[in-house]
Chains A and B, each alone.
Chain A
Amino acid sequence: MAFLNERMETLSRAELKKVQLERLQKEIKRTYDNVECFRNRMDEKGLKPEDIKSLEDLQKVPFSYKKDLRDYYPFGLFAQPLKNVLRFHASSGTTGKRIVVGYTKNDLETWAECAARMLSAIGVTDEDIIHVAYGYGLFTGGFGIHGAAEKIGAAVIPISSGNTKLQIQTMIDFGATVLCCTPSYAMHLGEEVNRMGVKDQLKLKCGVFGAEPWTESMREEIEKSLGIKAYDIYGLTEVIGPGVACECEEKAGMHIWEDHFLAEIIDPDTGEVLPEGSTGELVFTSLTKEAFPVIRYRTRDICRLEYEPCKCGRTHLRMCKPQGRSDDMLIIRGVNVFPSQIEEVLLKTSGGDLTPNYQIVVDRKNNTDTFDVNVEMSEELFADEVRSIEDIEKRITAELRSTLGIGAKVHLVNPKSIERSEGKAKRVIDKRNLH
C-alpha cells in the first residue's frame, strides 16, 4: 500500500482539522479580497473573513452555484490576474453558454497531486504505462489524469477518446498497464477486446474510471472483461477536475482529499448542514486553490460521507457513489447535459416564437449511452416540402451538437404524443438505472 504523501494522507482527524481551518481562513480571505461576487454576498450577510474562527463558522458563509459561473463568465470569479493563469478548462453550463475555470502553476500542482495520490493508492508506480483515453482538450478528464501520471513518473499514452480498434492495438503494442476512461467506454473496450480475442495480449492490471455515474455491476463487468481491477474517481471542473475524491485499493468509497477540499453534506432544500452520516447534497470549499477558489459550492450530487478510518490507513473521509442529483442534470457519455440547454436550442431553431414540446430519452445500448430527442411536430414547423422539414431536423441536430458537445438523434413525432402527467410533459426518460 503506497502513499504519495503519507504524512498528509494519514494525518489524525484533529491535525487534519487544524490544517483545514488554517487554509480555510486564508482561502476565504483571498476570495473575499479578489472576487467581487463573493465579497458582495459576504457583505450582505455582514460577514468578514475574520469572522471565520472555526470550521463550524463556515456554515454562515453563503453558498455558490453553477449559475454563478455563467453570470460571471468568463473570468469574473477568478481570484488571480490572467498573467498568473497557466491553463483554462471548460465544461457545459446549464444553458448554451459554457463555464470556464483557470489554474495557476500551484493549482496544476495541487490537481496533479490529488489525482496522483489515487494512482499511488491503487498501486500504480513509475514502472507503469498509463493509457489515457479520456478526451484531451477543454474537458478536464484527459489532462487531469495526464498530470497525475507525470507526477508519479509513469509513462503516458495520451491517446484521447475515439477509434476503439486503434485504442486496443495501441494498448497491446505499447504494453499499457493502466487504463483511464469513462466506465461506459471501458465496458465497450472490454467487449471489443473479447470480440477480437486479444485479451491475453493485454498487460492491463487496473483502470481508473469516472466522469459519469456507474454501478457495482458495471465494475464487475469491466473487471471480468478486461481482467483488471477497476477504481472509481470523482471530480468536477468547477472544483478542480478528476481527483477531488478517489478510491483506494479497498474500494470502500472515494477518499476526499480533505487538506485541499472541505466537504459538507446539506439538505438541498433548506441549505442546513446535516449531521455526520446523513445523505444529502455534497458541497465543496477549496482550501488551497488560487485562480478559481470555490466557497461552499453546490455540486447537486446527492451522497453520503463515511468518517470511519479506512483499512488502507488514510484518515481522509470517504464519499459514497453519488446516488442522484438535486437538479435535473444528466450525464450522457461523460458530458453534462441540462434539459434547459435542449429547450434553448429548440427555441432558437424553431424561429423563436415557441418552444416545441420535447422529450429526452437516454438509454444504454452496447455499453454506449444513446441520446434521443423527440420533438413534437407543430403547424408552425410543418411544411409541405420534405426538404424544409429535414432542414429543421438537421438544424436542431447540428445546434444540439454544438451546444452540448455530443450528438443526439432527433425524431419528429406527432403532436400531443409525448406523455404528459398532470398536463406537464415528462421531459426526461432515463432508462439506464445507474443509481
Chain B
Amino acid sequence: MITKQLSVFVENKKGRLSAILNLLAENDVDLSALSLADTTEFGVLRLIVNKPELAKKILNESGVIVKITDVLAVVLDDAPGGAAKIIDTLYKNDVSIEYMYAFDTKLTGKAIMVAKTENVKAVNDLLIQNGFEDPSAEDIFKF
C-alpha cells in the first residue's frame, strides 16, 4: 500500500532529536517506524506514525520543518531471503530505490518494508501483480 511518511529536518545540534520526539510523545503520536538519515551537516528523520497530519501540525507550530511524503509499504517474509526477493523484483523491473527501511509487525513471521521510489503508485501496482502482499493499515499501525 501507499502510506504517508513524515520527513523532518533535524539540525546537527545536541538535543534536537530529543526535542522532536518528546513533542510527538506529549501529543500521543505513536511511532510505527523510524529511520534517521544523517549527513555531516544535518539529518532527515523519517517516521511512520498513526496521526501524520496532527504530527505535522504540532511540529510546524514549534518551528520544525516537516514534509509528508507518499512511500511504499510492502509485507515481506521475516525469513532469510525475504528482503532479497522484493529488491530483486524491483531491480528486474528497473525501479530505483531512493531509500528504504524495514520494521517488525504484529503479523507473525512477517515484516514490513518501507521504500521511496519514483512513481510509488505504479511500483505498488507492480508489486501486487508480482504477488507481494499489501499490508493493511492495521498491520502498520497499532490501534
**Residues of A participating in the B interface, judged by any CB pair closer than 8 Å:** 377-379, 382-387, 389-390, 393, 410-417
Cross-chain contact B116 with A379 (CB below 8 angstroms): no
Instruction: Report the minimum CB–CB distance from B7 to chain A (whole Å).
Output: 4
| Cβ-defined contact, A386 with B39, below 8 A | yes
| A416 closest partner in B (C-beta) | B63
Q: How far is the CB of A419 from chain B (nearest CB, A)?
A: 14
Given A377-B11, A390-B39, answer yes or no on A384-B63 (Cβ-Cβ < 8 Å). Answer: no
Docked-complex contact B65 and A382, CB < 8 angstroms: yes
Query: When A384-B44, A390-B39, A412-B42 are in contact, do A377 and B7 touch as well, CB less than 8 Å?
Result: no
B16 within 8 A of A: yes
- Residues facing A in B27-84 (CB within 8 A) are 37, 39, 41-42, 44, 46, 63-65, 67, 69
Distance, CA A414 to CA B67, complexed state (A): 15
- Pairs across A and B, CB under 8 Å, 24 listed: A377-B42, A377-B65, A378-B65, A382-B67, A383-B67, A384-B7, A384-B46, A384-B67, A384-B69, A386-B37, A389-B39, A389-B42, A389-B44, A390-B39, A410-B41, A411-B12, A412-B41, A412-B42, A413-B11, A414-B13, A414-B63, A414-B64, A415-B63, A415-B65
CA distance A410 to B116 in the complex (A): 28
* In the complex, chain B residues whose CB is within 8 Å of the CB of A387: 98
Q: How far is the CB of B105 from chain A (nearest CB, A)?
A: 23
Chain B contacts for A385, CB-based, 8 A: 98-99, 116
CB of B9 closer than 8 Å to a CB of A = yes
Name the contact of A382 in the complex, choosing from B9, B12, B39 (C-beta under 8 A): B9
The total number of A-B Cβ pairs within 8 Å is 54
> How big is chain B's contact interface, by range?
20 to 34
Which residues of B are interface residues toward A (Cβ below 8 A)?
5, 7, 9, 11-13, 16, 37, 39, 41-42, 44, 46, 63-65, 67, 69, 98-99, 116
Given A384-B69, A390-B39, do A412 and B11 touch, yes or no (CB 8 Å)? yes
CB distance from B17 to the nearest CB of A (A): 12
Return the contact of A417 from the options B11, B42, B99 (Cβ within 8 A): B11
In the bound complex, do residue A414 and residue B11 qualify as a contact, i.e. CB atoms below 8 Å apart? yes
Contact A377:B44 (CB < 8 A) given known A384-B116, A416-B63:
no
Interface of B is mostly: strand
| Closest CB in chain B relative to A44 CB, distance in Å | 51
A257 vs B7: C-alpha distance when bound (angstroms): 63
Residue pair A414, B116 in contact (C-beta under 8 Å): no
What separation, in Å, do the CA atoms of A377 and B42 have in the docked complex?
10
C-alpha gap A390/B38 in the complex (Å): 11
Question: Within 8 Å CB of B63, what residues of A?
Answer: 414-416
Chain A residues with CB under 8 Å of B67's CB are: 379, 382-384
CB-CB under 8 A from A411, the residues of chain B are 12, 41
| Residue from B9, B39, B46, B98 in contact with A377 in the complex, judged by beta carbons closer than 8 Å | B9
Given contacts A384-B116, A414-B11, 6 further A-B pairs with CB under 8 A are A377-B42, A379-B65, A385-B99, A389-B42, A412-B11, A414-B63
Q: Which residues of A contact B42 (CB under 8 A)?
A: 377, 389, 412
The smallest C-beta distance from B45 to any residue of chain A, in angstroms, reads 11
Query: Chain B nearest CB: distance from A354 CB in Å?
Result: 14
Instruction: Write the chain A residue with the least CB distance to B6.
Output: A384
Please give, as numbers and ranges, the residues of chain B lying within 8 Å of A386 by CB-CB distance.
37, 39, 44, 99
Query: A378 vs B37: C-alpha distance in the bound complex, in angstroms?
Result: 18
CA–CA, A182 and B41, complex, Å: 31
Give the distance in Å from the alpha carbon of A132 to the alpha carbon of B105 in the complex: 69
- Closest residue of A by beta carbon distance from B46: A384
Bound form: Cα–Cα A414–B17 in Å:
12
CA distance A384 to B116 in the complex (A): 10
Residue of B11, B39, B64 with highest tally of chain A CB at under 10 A: B11
CB contacts (< 8 Å) of A416 on chain B: these are 63
A387's nearest neighbour on chain B, judged by CB, is B98
Per a CB cutoff under 8 Å, which of A390, A393, A410, A414 touches B9? A414
Q: How far is the CB of B30 from chain A (nearest CB, A)?
A: 21
Contacts of B11 in A (CB 8 A): 377, 412-414, 417
Q: What are the 3 A-B residue pairs with the smallest beta carbon separation, nearest first?
A: A384-B7, A414-B11, A384-B69
**Which of chain B's residues have a CB closer than 8 A to the CB of A377?**
9, 11, 42, 65
Chain A residues contacting B44 (CB-CB under 8 Å) are 384, 386, 389
Q: Which residues of chain A come closer than 8 Å to B116, judged between CB atoms?
A: 384-385
Q: Are A393 and B41 in contact (CB under 8 A)?
A: yes
- B140 shortest CB reach to chain A, Å: 18
Collect the chain A residues with CB atoms within 8 Å of residue B9's CB: 377, 382, 389, 412, 414
A417 and B44 alpha carbons, distance in the complex (Å)? 17
Most B-side CB within 10 Å, residue of A377, A386, A387, A410: A386
